[in-house]
Amino acid sequence: MNVPTLRRLSHDLRGSLANLRMGLQACRESPDMLTVLGEALLQEVDCLDRRLIQLNWMARCGAPNPELVNVHAVVEGWAADRGVSGLQLEPVQAHLDADLFKAGLDQLYDNALKHGGGCLGVRLLVTGQRLLLEVRDQDKGWPDNIYDWLKDPQLWRGQVALGLAVAQRVARAHGGELILEPGSAALSIPL
């Protein structure tokens, strides 16, 4: 991550902390404010938690811990934890860091929900000597400069957008790439 991106991210995190501080101070001054602000404060905590999880995954991409796994079982477990249906999975084994792989899948799925109009399905298949994990969405379209954006995550709806950058780093940590096409985003990883 470059310095301008880190500055924007720092500003983003400090903004969330300032919101929490102001809300907690208001609650300390008037305990009745907790019923008014409680939900907003919890949402701010959730936002901070998601952002810190993304940063943790980005850091982990520098030192993946690959092992031979049944990739379809990893995706099935992820889907069960998230309550996701609509899976199309080919049985396949590969050497990869299962936790990082699930983190990349999380980012693709969250992106489909937040920006793609919803997730239409998750597909795992083998094409030649590559593993392809694809999340399909409602095809809201990608910005023209999406690949430049991934090099330097920019503000999106008031926050630094890291989700696809995390997914891209997960793919690269496994010697692969992030593929963005109309209506889908995919991790393509060599077997």
27 and 76 in one domain? Answer: no
Alpha helices in 61-143 (DSSP H): 71-82, 98-115
145 and 80 in one domain? Answer: yes
93 and 37 in one domain? Answer: no
Say what percent of the chain tops pLDDT 90. Answer: 30
48 and 86 in one domain? Answer: no
User: Is the separation of the CB atoms in 97 and 132 below 8 Å?
Assistant: no
Strongest mean pLDDT among 16-25, 53-62, 120-129: 120-129
Residue 78: pLDDT band by 50, 70, 90 thresholds?
A: very high
Residue 41: pLDDT band by 50, 70, 90 thresholds?
A: confident
Q: How do residues 120-170 score in pLDDT, each as one tens digit?
A: 899 999 999 999 999 998 887 776 666 666 665 554 555 556 778 888 889
Q: What is the mean pLDDT of residues 82-95?
A: 92
* Domain span including residue 12: 3-60
CATH of the domain at 181: 3.30.565.10
Counted domains in the chain: 2
Global pTM exceeds 0.75: no
pLDDT of 144 reads 67
Comparing CA positions, the residue from 103, 166, 171, 169 lying closest to residue 131 is 171
> What residues contact residue 171 under an 8 Å CB cut-off, 6+ apart?
104, 177, 178, 187, 188, 189
Half-sphere exposure of 50 (CA within 13 A, CB side): 17
Rounded CA Rg of the chain: 18
